[in-house]
């Protein structure tokens, strides 16, 4: 065989899967359809330290373009909730290449420009047909991102709510001093149904703005165009220089469904596992379980279910809470969002810490203390909308 494990897609989740499996003794081959790692990049170009902490990694200066102090969440009427949390604006291409180099140093065979066309099982091995020929392995791991065709090809319905993929478009822009602020800005409300519009300072004159929406189809162009005009008014800008346009999807509240079969695993965006740090941690879990299965000579579904068990233990509650929160936001009116923001405006929120469940309880306790009636706004989650 060409490898013990073939990983399809050099996404952050795929790279971490390959690294962990290789470090545990498995022979791993990554097949990536892009000619160059990280190019063109996914529009996800920022994250918070807490997200990267999930997988035990530290931000490297080689791919960080701007350090930030936190975020501002801005309601439709302009009410602002500030949350201090170290964050990073990154060069996503440099980020992907940084991890690709780390992975190859462990002994992983990474091949670019290879498009997978079909996967077939022959006896106790898999045959992967590609644009570069045929490869064989004992175990196949799919990590080719939100637009994965491989998972559906092998009959896996990986997301419970695929209709809730957040489709977005992001523009890299330039204007004097636009990248100097130290806070991300997230604008919520019905101008961006189900999610947000964004302003991400990237240092100097560089920034990124984007629109991410749910249940509005995969083309967010109308929402982005409206946001560009509103953004220029908010910042007092007559014109913006658009350097680059990127588009993509985020499975932020889709929730994983079927991502394991005999000799087959799915990880990262393809499995509905959202967020760079979260997907990378999922990759670590997946790689560990895959390597253990190879060493035992058992790649059956029952053997691979340890991946699902471990992922659920770490992340299922957090993903469900995230879905409840964003579905409540999607169903709220702009007025209700403003009233909710008023509860937290100008408040010191440094008391919020711990796991996602603990954070949720702390937020509810704060609301009960300051304005109990605000909790009633959460009834929006129950609306049939």
Q: Is the pLDDT of residue 75 over 60?
A: yes
**Average confidence score pLDDT of the chain:** 92
pLDDT tens digit string along 294-352?
A: 999 999 999 999 999 999 999 998 899 889 989 999 999 999 999 999 989 988 887 77
Whether 74 maps to a domain, the answer reads yes
215 and 296 part of one domain? no
Domain membership flag for residue 85: yes
What confidence score (pLDDT) does residue 149 get? 86
Are residue 175 and residue 236 in the same domain, yes or no? yes
Last residue of a domain, one of 321, 355, 371: 321
CA angle 288, 298, 314 (to 5 degrees): 35
What is the model's pLDDT at position 309? Answer: 98
Q: Residue 359 domain-assigned?
A: no
pLDDT on residue 19:
98
* pLDDT bracket for residue 45 (50, 70, 90): confident
Statement to judge: residues 14 and 78 lie in one domain: no
What's the domain count of the chain? Answer: 2
Q: Which of 221, 250, 279 is the last residue of a domain?
A: 250
**Domain annotation covers residue 145:** yes
Instruction: Residue 152: give the domain boundaries.
Output: 3-42+93-161+254-321
Predicted local distance difference test score (pLDDT) of residue 358:
64
- The least confident of 49-53, 280-284, 372-376 is 372-376
Backbone φ, ψ for residue 43 (5° rounding)? -65, -10
**Predicted local confidence at residue 357, as pLDDT:** 59
| CATH number for position 22 | 3.50.50.60
Residue 294, domain member (yes or no) = yes
156 and 168 part of one domain: no
Same domain (yes/no): 174, 242 = yes
Is 267 a member of any domain? yes
Q: What are phi and psi of 320, to 5 degrees?
A: -65, -40
CA distances from residue 89 to 46, 65, 172, 268, 281 in whole angstroms, order as listed: 4, 6, 12, 21, 20
Say if residue 111 is in the same domain as residue 33.
Answer: yes
Q: Is 140 in the same domain as 169?
A: no
Whether residue 182 is found in the same domain as residue 85: yes
Residues 182 and 145 in one domain: no
CA-based nearest residue to 227, from 200, 191, 193, 194: 191
The percentage of the chain sitting over the pLDDT mark of 70, rounded to a whole number, equals 97
Give the end of a domain, one of 302, 321, 340. Answer: 321
Q: What is the pLDDT of residue 318?
A: 87
State the average pLDDT over residues 187-206: 96
Q: Which residues pair with 71 in a beta bridge?
A: 83, 184
Handedness of CA 96, 97, 100, 102 (dihedral sign): negative
Examine the pLDDT at 356 and tell me if it is beyond 70. no
Q: CB under 8 Å to 369, separation ≥6 — which residues? A: none
C-alpha closest to that of 250 among 279, 270, 274, 281: 274
User: Which pTM value belongs to this model?
Assistant: 0.93
Tokens representing 22?
Answer: 């290789």
Q: What is the mean pLDDT of residues 360-364?
A: 70
Q: What is the CATH number of the domain that holds 177?
A: 3.30.9.10
Statement to judge: residues 171 and 147 lie in one domain: no
Does the pLDDT value for residue 253 go beyond 80?
A: yes
| Residue 334 domain flag | no
């Amino acid at each position: 065989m060409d490898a013990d494990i073939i990983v399809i897609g050099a996404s952050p989740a795929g790279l971490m899967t390959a690294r962990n499996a290789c470090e545990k003794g498995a022979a791993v081959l990554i097949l990536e359809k892009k000619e160059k790692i990280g190019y063109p990049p996914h529009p996800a170009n920022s994250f918070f330290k807490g997200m990267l902490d999930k997988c035990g990694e530290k931000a490297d200066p080689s791919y960080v373009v701007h350090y930030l102090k936190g975020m501002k969440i801005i309601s439709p009427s302009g009410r602002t909730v500030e949350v201090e949390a170290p964050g990073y604006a990154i060069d996503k291409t440099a980020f992907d290449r940084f991890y690709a180099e780390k992975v190859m140093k462990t002994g992983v065979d990474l091949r670019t420009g290879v498009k997978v066309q079909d996967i077939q099982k022959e006896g106790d091995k898999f045959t992967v047909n590609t644009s570069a020929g045929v490869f064989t392995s004992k175990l196949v791991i799919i990590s080719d991102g939100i637009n994965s065709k491989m998972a559906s090809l092998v009959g896996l319905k990986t997301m419970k709510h695929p209709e809730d993929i957040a489709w977005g478009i992001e523009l890299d822009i330039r204007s004097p001093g636009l990248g100097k602020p130290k806070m991300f800005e997230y604008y919520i409300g019905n101008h961006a149904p189900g999610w947000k519009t964004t302003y991400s300072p990237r240092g100097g004159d560089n920034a990124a703005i984007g629109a991410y929406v749910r249940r509005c189809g995969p083309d967010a162009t109308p929402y982005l165009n409206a946001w560009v005009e509103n953004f220029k008014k908010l910042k007092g800008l007559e014109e913006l220089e658009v350097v680059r346009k990127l588009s993509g999807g985020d499975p932020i509240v889709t929730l994983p469904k079927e991502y394991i079969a005999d000799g087959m695993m799915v990880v990262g965006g393809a499995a509905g596992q959202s967020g760079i740090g979260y997907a990378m941690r999922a990759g670590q879990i997946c790689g560990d379980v895959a390597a253990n299965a190879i060493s035992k000579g058992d790649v059956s579904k029952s053997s691979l279910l340890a991946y699902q068990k471990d992922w659920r233990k770490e992340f299922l509650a957090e993903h469900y809470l995230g879905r409840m929160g964003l579905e409540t936001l999607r169903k709220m009116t702009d007025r209700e969002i403003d009233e909710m923001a008023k509860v937290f405006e100008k408040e010191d929120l440094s008391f919020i810490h711990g796991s996602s469940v603990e954070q949720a309880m702390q937020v509810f306790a704060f609301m009960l203390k300051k304005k109990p009636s605000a909790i009633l706004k959460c009834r929006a989650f129950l609306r049939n909308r």
